[in-house]
Amino acid sequence: MTILVKMGSDPPSWGMLEVQGDVESRNQTPLEEQFVGDLHFTVQGNTPILIIGHHILYGKAVVLEKPFAVLEKVQSSDSIEYVVKALVKHKLLFKTRPKPIIANVPKLL
């Protein structure tokens, strides 16, 4: 059996998002192709901010020491081929605990 890894002429560069802990859906549906939250950057552009529901996370952009390759497996009757779809060279790291976003609601007396 032949295993071939093809590199495109210029594979696109992707990024990765890393959070500490679990991101779970309220109704236990898979998160694939679902809206999870909003990703913003500060005015300076160096600090990523992730807002998920009523929580906010502050992170940092990190260059990966060893890049990842995103591969697509193409299998025929007599061979297997892996096509490089993209390279992941950077990640946004959110390693602190999320902070609640609390609206300032006046109390009625």
Residue 106 has pLDDT above 80, yes or no: no
- How many CA atoms are closer than 13 Å to the CA of 6, on its beta-carbon side? 11
User: Tell me, what's the pLDDT at 93?
Assistant: 92
How many Cβ atoms are within 10 Å of 61's Cβ, its own excluded?
14
* Closest C-alpha to 55, from 23, 17, 88, 13: 23
Q: Tens of pLDDT along 8-59?
A: 567 888 888 888 888 877 788 887 878 888 999 998 878 999 999 889 999 9
pTM over 0.85: no
Q: Whole-number mean pLDDT of the chain?
A: 83
